[in-house]
Amino acid sequence: MYIFCMHNSFIFKKGFFTILKNNKEIKIVSNKSLFFNIHNNAFEQLLSISEIPEVISPILAMPDIHVGFGVPIGSVFATDSKKGIISSDAVGYDINCGIRLIKTNLNIKDISKQNLQLLSKELKNLPLGLSNEGIKITNQDYNLILTTGANWCVSKKYCSKSDLRHMYNNGFFKNAIVSKISKEALKRGKLQVGTLGQGNHFIDVLSVDSIFNLEVANYFGLEKGQLVILMHSGSRGLGHQIASDYYKLLKKTHGLGYSLISSKVGSDYYKAMLAAANFAFVNRTVLTYKIQEAFNKVLGLTSRIKFSLLYDLTHNLATIEKHFNKEYLITRKGATRVFLPEDLSSKNPFKKTGAPIILPGSMLDYSYVLIPDKGVKETFMSVAHGSGRNISRTDAKKRISFKDLKILMEKNNIILENVSENLAREEQPAAYKNSIKVVNSMKTAKLVKKVARLKPVIVVIG
């Protein structure tokens, strides 16, 4: 069932569809095409957030909004940092699910089809899906991963110290406390450091297809034809179990499990969540190291491949931030925090441009590199995290066979590797909204500016 009556209650102005509910403004960043296809359940979930007394106005949704658990994916809301609420299902089951873009010094025109096929097979050998074949770590390592995040990776030479400056929050959250995590969650996570996960988690090799802002692209080290790597993963079984554990402890009301951030259970969840966030930074960093090994094994025989991290950003978190000279706890479910140049220190590598925004498309659609525009001040410095699902996993699977999916990808000169045929069908291109519509919706609302467009070459689905 889709909304055909409620949309008439919304007012469209400057890229936002707005309505007042429970004396709180609800704002959806969207164009008309995307707006009229928002599922009824996603609307209901978004509107229900306004019923929570501690949530302040405005409540926001991005153009990739779709049905989630408790709240829609693509939603953002704020509460007071000391008197507000925190919710495990509003953060999500994949805490600090995030994406990173790794640049190479390779150009698509210099890589043969045969070598691309070999590279895809090598990438498929990585620990994908629900693999428990992560790197071997000691209990001491594990504790440091959970409390120091990507700093542990520097000490173990999985990345350089300078890489930390290219990660959201420098790849580390303080105040994480391991004792707030259950034994079952710890057990699940210990075997999964450097593993991809399944569902919408992926490793993509893409080429820079178009440059929209030459000055910023040059500053980012991007040029046409360049091969880059997008990788999407999170906190794996650790984050999922933490969310499950605390959901059972949080009070349930207004369709959401939550508690005051000042309560014991709320405070405990926050500290466990930060530990899972640290784990996710490490997971993506270690997996990047393994991806680079795969590249070197296949393509590094004739020339030295150079890799550099453009940026690593996160999608599912609740973080304490300052907006409008006040401190808030901002919960983002499938949404990304951004930084304008004036928000960054003089030593930050993105001081001239603002921090990069990486927006992935579907396995067939373009992905984008963007920078923030001034309008993000109206969204608690938030933008969309991707294209967002257009149809459910069940419907996506019904609409295409795996054989037809392979033919479609081959027709478009994209190599598809997957663990499960059913999961690949669930992630088929038609499952996602058109990425340019999502980007242009944010551009109209003055949230983003386009820098570059990326075309998929190899798609590896977890």
201 is an active site residue: no
Q: Which of 39, 166, 240, 385 is catalytic?
A: 385
Q: How far apart are CA 70 and CA 79, in angstroms?
A: 17
Tokens of residue 270, six digits? 């926050």
Q: Half-sphere exposure of residue 313, counting CA atoms within 13 Å on the CB side?
A: 26
**Ranges under pLDDT 70 in the chain:** 1-8, 302
CA distance 162 to 316: 24
Exposed/middle/buried for 139, CB within 10 Å: 0-12, 13-18, 19+?
A: exposed
Cα angle: 27, vertex 53, 7; to 5 degrees: 30
Q: Per residue in 100-113, pLDDT tens?
A: 999 999 999 999 99
pLDDT at residue 115, as a whole number: 96
- Spatial distance between the Cα atoms of 323 and 58, rounded to a whole number of angstroms: 13
- pLDDT at site 253: 86
Q: Is 417 helix (H, G, I), strand (E, B) or coil?
A: strand
Instruction: Report pLDDT for 158.
Output: 98
Cα(82)–Cα(320) distance, integer angstroms: 9
- CA 235, CA 38: separation in Å to the nearest integer? 28
Contact 359, 435 (CB under 8 A): yes
| φ, ψ at 374 (rounded to 5°) | -60, -25
Output the pLDDT for position 228. Answer: 98
Convert the pLDDT of each residue in 341-356 to its tens digit. 999 999 999 999 999 9
Which helix (H) or strand (E) segment holds residue 1: the answer is none
C-alpha torsion angle, residues 54, 25, 75, 392 (rounded to 10)? 120
